[in-house]
């Protein structure tokens, strides 16, 4: 019987152990998509206690606590931080076979050297020990990132963000690099014309220009896109239910924008046309600057109206969507490719039913010039676990080139989430090792080891044009 979370956790053969420990374990981390707060990175924030760094904003844990019957007061409410942690500790034993059980104990081990299983009985002991360590200088943000050998992080930033914290951090001279990522979701969401006009007015303010027409709007957004590039950005990101690829003319979009400014309600077709036009425009700018564009597709967001009314958006009520993805993907990518404006692209799906579709779709638009130009992104969100990662790796292996894959990312708001890279690396090594043991891959550790290292680090290093 194996010991839980020992040195060879998730590694089921001596070959897997060799691949992980000799080739993958000590590689640096490039975390090219996350939701870390840049102000906390720039300030080298010191967290008050374990709840503050571990439970605040963690929708995964919140959902598990709700499912375990924990009152909202101990999740997002006014209970003390220690009482919230006690509620989480009481929940942890019931998360068995959920990735939270692995992540929780992996993070306690890697950051705090706590190897006990977290339960209601030892909650106070764990809370006090970890919280005490968090007061030490090397457990501030810089120390936590260095502990995991993180070299690059890309945050997620709206076009109207000032990037002041990225600028301050860039001037600090620290070895770790923090870059912004251009996330213009709000800039292409005119469903509510009143709130969208408020966004347009904020954009006008930060870009220091009036916005009275669609061309004015594009000019202001382009100025922000340029500003992001000046501050080291080379990655964009879109979080959408599905891609939009409606037919439209320039006159259509000018008229739609005029209606928006008059605060008139748009039809569904007009909304979709506007979104389609903006996606093409953003993609063209990204290609012009040789950025990498990312598309996170397939989430049902803010589904519980009662909870959203009480707690607000983005509080743990999103789920896997069953949107039709293929036709719009073909139309959008084909349009860009036909006009030679399709840049490096990473496609992420939330519904695992779409794995093979996404893996195959990217391969349609590789150009024979750029290695790994079209990427089927790592298991995302609900697929960010052992089975989800395995299925994504298998689909990509069967349909594309797993050897050119840019690997894992955290997609997290937590500074304690970086062991997910380790989790991915262990799973990856075990999958390759199983094929070697079965005779389905050659026992060429030098070559397979190189492939493992490329997927874990070197492919991403070569793919993203970080400066």
- Tell me the C-alpha distance between 61 and 6, whole Å: 24
> Do 193 and 263 touch, CB atoms closer than 8 A?
yes
> Do 400 and 363 touch, CB atoms closer than 8 A?
yes
pTM of the full predicted structure?
0.97
Mean per-residue pLDDT, 353-357: 98
- Tell me the C-alpha distance between 411 and 294, whole Å: 12
Which of 15, 30, 13, 14 minimizes the C-alpha distance to 458?
Answer: 30
Between the two ends of the chain, the Cα-to-Cα distance in Å is 48
Tokens 């990522």 -> residue: 181
The token duo for 407 is 């690997």
Q: What's the 3-state SS for the chain? A: CCCCCCCCCCCCCHHHHHHHHHHHCCCCEEECCCCCCHHHHHCCCCCCCHHHHHCCCCHHHHHHHHHCCCCHHHCCCCCCHHHHHHHHHHHHHHHCCCHHHHHHHHHHHHHHCCCCCCCCCCHHHHHHHHHHHCCCHHHCHHHHHHHCCEEEEECCECCCCCCHHHHHHHCCCCCCEEECCECCHHHHCCCCHHHHHHHHHHHHHHHCCCCCCHHHHHHHHHHHHHHHHHCCCCEEEEEECCCCCCCCCHHHHHHHHHHHHCCCCCCHHHHHHHHHHHHHHHHHHHHHCCCEEEEEECEECCCCHHHHHHHCCCCCCCEECCCCCHHHHHHHHHHHHHCCCCCCEEEEECCHHHHHHHHHHHHCCCCCCCCCCEEECCCCHHHCCHHHHHHHHHHHHHHCCHHHCCCCCCCCCCCCCCHHHHHHHHHHHHHHHHHHHCCCCCCCHHHHHHHHHHHHHHHHHHHCCCC
- Tell me the C-alpha distance between 65 and 87, whole Å: 8
Mean per-residue pLDDT, 191-220: 97
pLDDT (tens digit per residue) in 308-335: 999 998 899 999 999 999 999 999 999 9
Mean per-residue pLDDT, 354-368: 97
pLDDT (tens digit per residue) in 241-291: 999 999 999 999 999 999 999 999 999 999 999 999 999 999 999 999 999
Q: What is the mean pLDDT of the chain?
A: 97
pLDDT (tens digit per residue) in 293-310: 999 999 999 999 999 999
**Degrees, nearest 5: CA angle 241-244-248:** 155
Mean per-residue pLDDT, 76-92: 98
Which pLDDT score, from 0 to 100, does residue 314 have?
Answer: 87
């Amino acid at each position: 019987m194996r010991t839980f979370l020992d040195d060879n956790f998730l590694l089921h053969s001596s070959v897997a152990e060799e691949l992980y420990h000799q080739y993958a374990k000590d590689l640096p981390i490039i975390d090219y998509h996350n939701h870390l707060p840049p102000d906390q990175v720039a300030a080298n924030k010191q967290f008050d206690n374990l709840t503050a760094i571990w439970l605040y904003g963690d929708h995964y844990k919140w959902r598990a606590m709700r499912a375990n019957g924990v009152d909202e007061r101990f999740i997002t409410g006014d209970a003390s931080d220690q009482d919230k942690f006690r509620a989480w500790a009481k929940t942890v034993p019931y998360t068995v076979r959920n990735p939270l059980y692995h992540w929780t104990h992996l993070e306690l081990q890697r950051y705090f050297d706590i190897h006990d299983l977290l339960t209601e009985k030892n909650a106070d002991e764990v809370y006090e020990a970890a919280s005490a360590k968090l007061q030490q200088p090397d457990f501030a943000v810089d120390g936590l990132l260095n502990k995991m050998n993180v070299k690059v992080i890309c945050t997620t930033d709206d076009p109207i963000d000032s990037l002041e914290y990225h600028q301050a951090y860039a001037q600090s001279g620290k070895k770790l690099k923090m870059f912004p990522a251009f996330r213009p979701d709000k800039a292409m969401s005119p469903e509510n014309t009143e709130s969208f006009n408020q966004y347009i007015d904020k954009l006008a303010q930060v870009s220091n220009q009036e916005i009275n027409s669609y061309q004015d709007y594009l000019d202001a957004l382009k100025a922000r896109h340029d500003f992001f590039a000046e501050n080291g950005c080379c990655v964009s990101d879109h979080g959408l239910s599905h891609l939009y690829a409606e037919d439209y003319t320039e006159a259509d979009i000018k008229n739609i924008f005029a209606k928006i400014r008059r605060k008139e309600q748009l039809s569904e077709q007009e909304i979709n046309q506007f979104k389609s036009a903006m996606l093409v425009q953003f993609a063209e700018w990204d290609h012009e600057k040789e950025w990498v564009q990312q598309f996170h597709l397939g989430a049902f967001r803010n589904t519980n109206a009662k909870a959203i009314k009480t707690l607000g958006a983005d509080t743990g009520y999103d789920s896997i969507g069953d949107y039709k993805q293929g036709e719009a993907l073909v139309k959008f990518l084909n349009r860009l490719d036909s006009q030679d404006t399709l840049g490096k692209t990473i496609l992420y799906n939330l519904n695992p039913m779409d794995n093979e579709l996404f893996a195959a779709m990217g391969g349609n638009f590789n150009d024979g010039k750029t290695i790994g130009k079209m990427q089927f992104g790592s298991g995302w969100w609900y697929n960010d676990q052992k089975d989800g990662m395995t299925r994504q790796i298998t689909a990509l292996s069967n349909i594309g080139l797993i050897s050119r894959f840019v690997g894992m990312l955290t997609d997290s708001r937590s500074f304690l989430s970086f062991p997910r890279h380790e989790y991915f690396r262990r799973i990856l090594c075990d999958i390759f090792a199983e094929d070697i043991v079965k005779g389905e891959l050659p026992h060429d550790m030098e070559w397979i080891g190189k492939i493992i290292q490329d997927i874990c680090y070197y492919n991403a290093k070569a793919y993203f044009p970080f400066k």
